[in-house]
Amino acid sequence: MNTPSTAVSPGIWGFLAFFVLALVLYLLMRNMNARMRRMSYRSEELRKEAEAEQDARRKAKQDKASGNGDAS
């Protein structure tokens, strides 16, 4: 009778393949987190710049409107 052996294992090559995949996944996640953090900082910076520009425009508009009211 041919019964399957329970002593069969993937061996060192199976371990190395799994280790390499785990290492690649770790490096990929680390890179992705760094990129996401950088994107978050950039979007926050752009948002602050847009708000500052909008406030400057609003102030200029108010100054212009108050200046025109005084001249009449």
pLDDT, tens digit (0-9, with 9 covering 90-100), for 21-49: 999 999 999 999 999 999 999 999 999 99
User: Looking at the domain assignment, is residue 27 inside a domain?
Assistant: yes
Structural domain of 43: 13-58
User: Looking at the domain assignment, is residue 39 inside a domain?
Assistant: yes
Task: Give me the pLDDT at residue 72, please.
Answer: 47
Read off the pTM.
Answer: 0.57
User: Looking at the domain assignment, is residue 40 inside a domain?
Assistant: yes
- Sign, Cα dihedral of 28, 31, 37, 41: negative
pLDDT, tens digit (0-9, with 9 covering 90-100), for 42-71: 999 999 999 999 999 999 888 888 876 444
User: Looking at the domain assignment, is residue 41 inside a domain?
Assistant: yes
User: Looking at the domain assignment, is residue 63 inside a domain?
Assistant: no
Task: Give me the pLDDT at residue 65, please.
Answer: 85
User: Looking at the domain assignment, is residue 30 inside a domain?
Assistant: yes
- C-alpha–C-alpha distance, residues 67 and 72, integer Å: 9
Q: Which residues of 12-31 are buried (b: 16+ CB within 10 A; e: fewer)?
A: eeeeeeeeeeeeeeeeeeee
pLDDT, tens digit (0-9, with 9 covering 90-100), for 4-20: 777 778 899 999 999 99
Q: How many domains does the chain have?
A: 1
